[in-house]
């Protein structure tokens, strides 16, 4: 009997011991899981804090009147009158690091680095941004009318690339917007498309149309300041009427009476900046800063004009990026007035095609064909982008059948290199655009 009691006691102790071991293991596991959960919670809170830091740093950068100069990091910037957002848990610090190439390159680039902490967790987020330029679209207009008269996209017109208007599109017939390679919504600020033949017109949009988008402010003279500054320090400045013929060997022939140049050959500037300014005598303009341009570019260049840019022939790249993906040839044509296509620009006669490989901007007014109602042209091939205040006409059409009556049909194809590598000192939008994001 005593042996049985002893045996039962041993069994009882064993059971209790097992239970205690299981309880201890459960408690230990529960404590570990609580710690893991707390670490995950702290890690997530630290990440959210770092993201708040990125938002604050981006807001600070966007509110600066100009891109911060130099390459010195900006530590914990503050927005006057705007406190940093209060966080439920965690804290963050922010550093904005200018790209080492900023003193000489355009557009300016920055890396926003935000370190978030919560408890024993630290997370770091890196956000690379660059100043956004108007070279990001194949088509940008402030208004889709010229002198108050609507200008239309019609059958046989094609715009392949990102499109934005601060107005509403005018459509007649079956134009095409085949943005397939780098999908981007077609944007307009207006609530509806304006159709000439409602219920009949049938445009093709490869991407959806975004209506009621926020307008982007068309730049003024101040946006050419970086170009003017670069042209005056290392580039070329010409005063008064100027003709520039680009050569495939990386040079240009310049005619400018004020400077004494008569088809004078010279290299394109190393910094890629040319500005043609008004010639001023006393307190009045003696000769407007207009420039005529044609030829083949070998290099990277932006030509700006105080007044108008007139295209007098094909404007081409020596290394055509449409067939050579490694081409770095890039051209900007920036007029503070109009960009005008000469009636005599077509190299093969009146009823022939014209090709423009460039990012083109008419800041004060329009991109148009001179005397667009007079003669029949072929196809206007633009590989690059067009930005203009008022949409200028390049031809007319028969409103009954949408056939061309004069001028050009349009074939506009976006040069997607321009999004990340716009022409030197090309006017910016006063905004920043994200390029890359990572966290650790």
Structure tokens at 156: 């046989």
399 pLDDT band, cuts 50/70/90, is: very high
- As a dihedral over the C-alpha atoms of residue 293, residue 298, residue 301, residue 304, rounded to 10 degrees, the angle is 0
Q: Mean pLDDT over residues 376-395, rounded?
A: 96
The pLDDT of residue 115 is: 96
Question: Considering only 18-22, 142-146, 257-261, which range has the smallest mean pLDDT?
Answer: 18-22
Q: CB neighbours of 14 closer than 8 A, spacing ≥ 6?
A: none
- Report pLDDT for 404: 93
Boundary-marking domain end, from 132, 158, 193: 132
Q: Please check whether residue 419 lies inside any domain of the structure.
A: yes
Taken in order 183, 188, 191, 192, the sign of the CA dihedral is: negative
Question: pLDDT per residue over 291-305, tens digit each?
Answer: 999 999 999 999 999
**pLDDT 10s digits, 175-205:** 999 876 666 779 999 999 999 999 999 999 9
Q: Is the Cα dihedral 227, 231, 234, 235 positive or negative?
A: positive
Confidence of residue 105 (pLDDT cuts 50, 70, 90): confident
- Rounded CA separation 193/203 (Å): 11
Q: Are residues 111 and 58 in the same domain?
A: yes
Residue 141 confidence (pLDDT)? 97
With residue 81 as reference, give the H or E element that holds it. Answer: none
Segments in 191-347 forming alpha helices (H): 225-232
- Cβ partners under 8 Å of residue 236, min gap 6: 266, 269, 273, 274, 275
Does residue 30 belong to any structural domain of this protein?
no
Residue 33: inside a domain: no
pLDDT greater than 80 at residue 37: no
271-284 pLDDT, tens per residue? 999 999 999 998 89
Write out the E strands in 151-299. 153-154, 158-160, 163-165, 170-172, 176-177, 186-188, 194-195, 204-205, 209-210, 236-239, 242-246, 251-256, 261-267, 273-277, 279-281, 284-287, 291-297
237-263 confidence digits (pLDDT tens)? 999 999 999 999 999 999 999 999 999
**Which pLDDT belongs to residue 24?**
55
Q: How many domains does the chain have?
A: 2
Q: What is the pLDDT of residue 28?
A: 55
- Is the residue at 10 inside a domain? no
Q: Coil, strand, or helix at residue 30?
A: helix
117 and 155 both lie in a single domain: no
33: number of Cβ within 10 Å: 10
Rounded CA separation 52/127 (Å): 12
pTM of this prediction?
A: 0.85
Residues of the domain holding 255? 137-432
Q: pLDDT at position 6, please?
A: 62
20 pLDDT tier (thresholds 50, 70, 90): low
pLDDT band at 88 (very low <50, low <70, confident <90, very high): confident
Note the pLDDT of residue 118: 92
Same domain, 144 and 271: yes
Q: Which two tokens stand for residue 252?
A: 């240009």
Q: Which of 80, 102, 132 is the last residue of a domain?
A: 132
* DSSP annotation string for 176-196: EE---SS---EEESSSS-EES
Domain assignment of residue 190, yes or no: yes
pLDDT of 81 higher than 80: no
Please indicate, yes or no, if residue 377 is contained in any of the structural domains. yes
Same domain, 148 and 255: yes
Instruction: Give the per-residue pLDDT at 8.
Output: 65
Q: What gap in Å lies between CA 218 and CA 379, rounded to an integer? A: 28
Q: Are 336 and 362 in contact (CB under 8 A)?
A: no
Residue 339 pLDDT class (50, 70, 90 cuts): very high
Same domain, 287 and 142: yes
- Residue 378 and residue 312 share a domain: yes
* pLDDT band at residue 29 using 50, 70 and 90 as cut-offs: low
Q: Is there a domain that residue 367 lies in?
A: yes
Last residue of a domain, one of 132, 154, 185: 132
pLDDT at 39 over 80: no
171 lies in the same domain as 60: no
| Cα dihedral 302→157→183→333 (10° resolution) | 0
Name the average pLDDT for the chain.
90
Number of helices and strands (H, E) in the chain? 2, 34
What is the chain's Cα-based Rg? 31
**Percent of the chain with pLDDT strictly greater than 70:** 90
Same domain flag for 122 and 163? no
Name the least confident of 29-33, 315-319, 320-324, 409-413.
29-33
Alpha-carbon distance 253 to 236, whole Å?
13
> Is 229 found in the same domain as 157?
yes
Query: Could you tell me if residue 423 is inside a domain?
Result: yes
Predicted pLDDT at 287: 96
In this structure, what DSSP letter does residue 135 have? G
């Amino acid at each position: 009997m005593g042996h049985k009691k002893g045996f039962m006691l041993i069994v009882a102790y064993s059971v209790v011991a097992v239970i205690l071991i299981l309880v201890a293991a459960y408690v230990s596991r529960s404590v570990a899981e609580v710690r893991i959960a707390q670490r995950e919670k702290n890690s997530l809170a630290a990440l959210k804090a770092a993201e708040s830091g990125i938002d604050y740093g981006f807001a600070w950068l966007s509110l600066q009147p100009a891109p911060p100069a130099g390459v010195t990091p900006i530590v914990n910037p503050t927005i006057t009158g705007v406190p940093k957002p209060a966080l439920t848990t965690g804290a963050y610090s922010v550093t904005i690091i200018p790209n080492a190439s900023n003193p000489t390159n355009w557009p300016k680039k920055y890396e926003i680095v935000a370190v978030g902490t919560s408890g024993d967790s630290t997370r770091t987020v890196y956000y690379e941004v660059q100043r956004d330029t108007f070279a990001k679209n194949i088509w940008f207009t402030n208004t889709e009318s010229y002198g108050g008269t609507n200008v239309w996209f019609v059958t046989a017109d094609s715009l392949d690339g990102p499109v934005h208007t601060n107005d509403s599109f005018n459509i007649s017939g079956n134009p095409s917007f085949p943005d397939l390679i780098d999908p981007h919504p077609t944007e307009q600020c207006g609530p509806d498309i304006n159709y000439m033949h409602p219920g009949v017109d049938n445009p093709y949009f490869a991407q959806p149309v975004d209506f009621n988008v926020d307008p982007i402010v068309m730049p003024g003279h101040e946006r050419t300041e970086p170009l003017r500054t670069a042209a005056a320090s290392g580039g070329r400045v010409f005063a008064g009427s100027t003709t520039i013929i680009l050569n495939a060997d990386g040079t240009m022939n310049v005619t400018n009476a004020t400077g004494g140049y008569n088809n004078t050959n010279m290299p394109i500037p190393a910094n890629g900046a040319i500005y043609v300014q008004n010639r001023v005598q006393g307190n009045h303009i003696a000769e407007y800063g207009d420039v005529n341009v044609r030829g083949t570019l070998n290099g990277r260049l932006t030509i700006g004009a105080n007044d108008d840019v007139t295209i007098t022939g094909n404007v081409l790249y020596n290394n055509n990026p449409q067939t050579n993906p490694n081409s770095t040839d890039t051209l900007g044509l920036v007029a503070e007035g109009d960009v005008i296509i000469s009636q005599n620009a077509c190299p093969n006669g009146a009823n022939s095609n014209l090709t423009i490989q460039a990012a083109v901007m008419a800041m004060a007014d329009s991109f148009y064909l001179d005397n667009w109602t007079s003669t029949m042209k072929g196809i206007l091939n633009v590989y690059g982008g067009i930005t203009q205040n008022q949409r200028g006409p390049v031809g007319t059409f028969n409103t009954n059948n949408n056939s061309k009556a004069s001028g050009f049909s349009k074939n506009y194809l976006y040069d997607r290199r321009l999004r990340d590598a716009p022409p030197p000192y090309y006017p910016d939008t006063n905004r920043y655009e994200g390029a890359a994001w990572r966290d650790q």
